[in-house]
Amino acid sequence: MKLPDFLQSAALNELRSKMKAPLGEFEPVSLPPLTLSLSEQEQLQESGIEIPLEEVRIAEDQRLTYKEAHVVLYIRTPVSDNLPKFHICDCTKLRQMRANHRFDRYVVSNREDGHFEIEQSGQKKVLHLDVCQYCLGQMKWMGFSYEKIRPEDRQKIVKNFSLKEFFNQYGHITSQRKSP
């Protein structure tokens, strides 16, 4: 198959000149596979992206990443009336789920308002979810400890947990992508 020579296209050349984009040297390197498309970036901020659990990567500090983004993870369709928790790292609970090969619909997201799209009885809803306490313990968030802190104080930390603060502290993009 012969590909068209786009360098001969008047429309594209005009566009390139409008963009003031120099004609680059062709490098036979494909786009990095970890790059998020624009639509994926939007989905992460809105409805989240459903992915198989294996596609979630674990950063060195145990946080969860999808492609180049730091994400949180939750289950789209809760099995009971209990709302799912969202996970901010590879906690004990998540490792259990992985070991049990649970076939839930896992969603990654980087929304900062604590609200997530779930499905209950076939209905889509956007609800506030709580952060997973195993995760808080593992990240030692605000000194959180399952053993050393009373349940009511643990609950306070859960209620005050802010994803905005979490992402501010750790960033939206993984460090491996930040390096020059």
Per CB under 5 A, residues contacting Zn ion are 87, 91, 93, 132, 134-135
> Rounded to an integer, what distance in angstroms lies between the CA atom of residue 136 and that of residue 66?
20
> Rounded to an integer, what distance in angstroms lies between the CA atom of residue 118 and that of residue 50?
11
Q: Which is nearer to Zn ion, 38 or 99 (CB)?
A: 99
Q: Which is nearer to Zn ion, 25 or 54 (CB)?
A: 54
Tell me the closest approach of the beta carbon of residue 134 to Zn ion, in angstroms. Answer: 4
Three-state secondary structure call for residue 52: coil
Tell me the closest approach of the beta carbon of residue 30 to Zn ion, in angstroms. Answer: 34
Rounded to 5 degrees, φ, ψ at 117 are -85, 120
Residue type, 125: K
> Rounded to an integer, what distance in angstroms lies between the CA atom of residue 2 and that of residue 49?
37
Q: Are 56 and 64 in contact (CB under 8 A)?
A: yes
Enter the DSSP assignment of 7.
Answer: G
Tell me the closest approach of the beta carbon of residue 125 to Zn ion, in angstroms. Answer: 21
Q: Which is nearer to Zn ion, 44 or 135 (CB)?
A: 135
Tell me the closest approach of the beta carbon of residue 90 to Zn ion, in angstroms. Answer: 8
Three-state secondary structure call for residue 147: coil
Q: Which is nearer to Zn ion, 129 or 132 (CB)?
A: 132
Beta strands in 32-171 (DSSP E): 49-50, 57-58, 64-66, 69-75, 106-109, 115-120, 123-128
Please state the separation of Cα 89 from the chain's center in Å: 11
Q: Which is nearer to Zn ion, 93 or 177 (CB)?
A: 93
Tell me the closest approach of the beta carbon of residue 88 to Zn ion, in angstroms. Answer: 7
